[in-house]
Structure 1
Amino acid sequence: MSGSMDKTVRLWDLRTPTCRGLLALPSTPIVTYDLSGLVFAVAVNHYSRILLYDHASFDKAPFLTITLEDPTLSLISYPPRPIYMTSMSFSSNGKYLLVGCSGDAHYILDSFEGHLLAKLEGHTGLERRRMGTPPSIEPSKGNSGEEVCWTPDSKYVISGSLDGKIAIWDVQDLPTREGPIDLKVPPLRLQPLASLEGHPGPSRCVRFNPRYAMMCTAGAELAFWLPDKSADDDEVARELLKKKVP
């Protein structure tokens, strides 16, 4: 599946040179599949909408339409600055939808009902080209698009930043919401659990190995990350004391 600058979403069969399906939209779309391959999502920035389709009913109306509005943005400026979506990805269980944005926040939505659950803050968005440059009135994509992803178990979200750091959020305790969607209810605002010193320039791409505990980040340089398996200093000291006890 591909989204194009000609404002279309195309479904491809690699065995044939032509697309199997075509979906026309009012602006350039962003697309993603869930891991089961049965549902796909299409984001349209022009209307701040996310459309969820059944793969078997590609040519019919979406079964769920989500409006992405953040009421906390009105606390910063009024009218609030629009959200510019640049990527989407489903969690491993298909329950959540991670929406990456070019600004200073990413969002997590309930993919079953469309509730806005969490706002991930604490990093610097890739909308601007360099630190210290003020944001423009109209939001833009910038270098954003591949800087945020889930870990394979969907317990954490990892994102790059304009300052080169790698932000990690713990999303294991997301709130649950039911009933009609109220766009005025603010999301849970999360700060990074940890922030890693990543690159000398912007960290523009972050990906996690689906099978092994290895992460890859890229900017002006490419970096591979492995977990630190060394024991904590206090644990080492306790083990040494145990060995000395007769």
Structure 2
Amino acid sequence: MKITTGNIGEMQCAKEFSEHKMRVNSLNYSNDGMHMISSSDDESIVLYNCDTGIKTRTLNSKKYGVDLIHFSHKVTDAIHCSTKIDDTIRYLSLHDNKYIRYFSGHQKKVITLAMSPIDDTFISSSLDKSIRLWDLKSPNCQGLMQLQHKAVAAFDPEGLIFAAGVNSEHIKLYDLRSYDKGPFTTFQLEQEAHCEWTSMKFSPNGKQILMCTNGEHMKLVDAFTGNILYELKGHKNVKRHALEASFSPDSNFVFCPSSDLKIYSWSTETGTIAATLNTNHTSFFQQVAFNPRYYVLASACSNVCFWVPSEDE
């Protein structure tokens, strides 16, 4: 089913899960779109089947806490960062709830964690002003970039380059095969005056980069020229939270939560608001994630909601 401005506005919450007791801090889908995973400040991890719309398992990480959870390329495994003890990244078997490997090196909170779309490489960035490259098969850091400022990071959809958003003003592009030579391109943007970049992501077609912030706008940037295509505005962020936005799989729309308890959507072609969705969330939510393969949108406060097209469409 094609995603259009008309049917976005008619999306309905088809399923609501109340497994978590505190704020959901991350949502992630498997590459095939059949599974989703969520993690929460209550140190729980929940797995969902997107085909049947049911919860399949609940796990806990009481010792280390859990944030920024991501599937590996197997739906039986995931990586996540820690909220207690230290800032080690952990590789978890979801099948038997045992840790496979630990990735130590960051000295402060990890703020970016992302899997390569093509192999077992993953990337992390931290408040210690470093970006690290890792391989699931080795506990040793495969690459280290020490920066002057903190940064967020993301892989492009082909897994050939990664981007670093540094000091809320520079986007640096690195070739994975020669990242040690420094960025091959740096885009200078006007530094954010009243907010910070909190995450970044490439559109699925690789043509745009979305810079998420803790303010009341996001920047949509041309991935080839560095030009700001649009500032996406209209949503609310009263308490200046880090809002996690998401592209639709066709790259035509961006979705973002708002402190007025609505989901806002923008057209990436025009930069204008395409639709708003009223939610059943009773507390402010920071997470939305669009399924990479199917017409399913997830939003989460402590409850997790699955949104689908209206049956009338």
Q: Same fold (TM over 0.5)?
A: yes
Q: Which residues of 2 match residues 79-228 of structure 1 at below 5 A?
A: 81-125=193-237, 128-129=238-239, 142-146=240-244, 148-173=245-270, 190-198=271-279, 199-228=281-310
Question: Once the 2 structures are TM-superposed, how far is the Cα of residue 82 of structure 1 from its aligned partner?
Answer: 4.0
- Superposed CA deviations along residues 180-209 of structure 1, whole A, max 9, x for unmatched, are xxxxxxxxxx44211111222222000011
- Superposed CA deviations along residues 20-44 of structure 1, whole A, max 9, x for unmatched, are 1000011221010011000111111
Other structure's SS at 2:193 match: coil
Other structure's SS at 1:107 match: strand
Other structure's SS at 1:11 match: strand
TM-score normalized by the length of structure 1: 0.73
Q: Which runs of 5+ in 2 are unaligned?
A: 1-122
Distance 2:284 2:188 in 1: 30
Q: Aligned pair 1:22/2:144, yes or no?
A: yes
Give the number of the structure whose alpha-carbon radius of gyration is greater: 1
TM-score normalized by the length of structure 2: 0.58
Please identify which structure carries the higher strand content: 2
Contact 2:215–2:241, Cα closer than 8 Å, also in 1: no
Other structure's SS at 2:177 match: helix
Other structure's SS at 1:119 match: strand
The match for 1:35 is: 157
Structure 1 residues 29 and 81, CA gap change in structure 2 (3 angstroms): closer
Letter in 2 for 1:9: I
**After TM superposition, where is structure 1 displaced by more than 6 Å over at least 4 residues in a row?**
none
Question: Once the 2 structures are TM-superposed, how far is the Cα of residue 81 of structure 1 from its aligned partner?
Answer: 2.6
1:4 to 126, 133, 140: 126
Contact 1:163–1:203, Cα closer than 8 Å, also in 2: no
Letter in 2 for 1:124: K
The size of the alignment, in residue pairs, is 190
Greater relative CO (CA pairs within 8 A, separation 6+): 2
Question: Once the 2 structures are TM-superposed, how far is the Cα of residue 117 of structure 1 from its aligned partner?
Answer: 0.8
Q: Which runs of 5+ in 1 are unaligned?
A: 71-79, 130-141, 174-189, 232-246
Sequence identity of aligned pairs in percent? Answer: 38
Q: Kindly report the root-mean-square deviation, in angstroms, between the aligned alpha carbons of the 2 structures.
A: 1.7
Question: Once the 2 structures are TM-superposed, how far is the Cα of residue 48 of structure 1 from its aligned partner?
Answer: 1.3
Question: Once the 2 structures are TM-superposed, how far is the Cα of residue 83 of structure 1 from its aligned partner?
Answer: 4.1
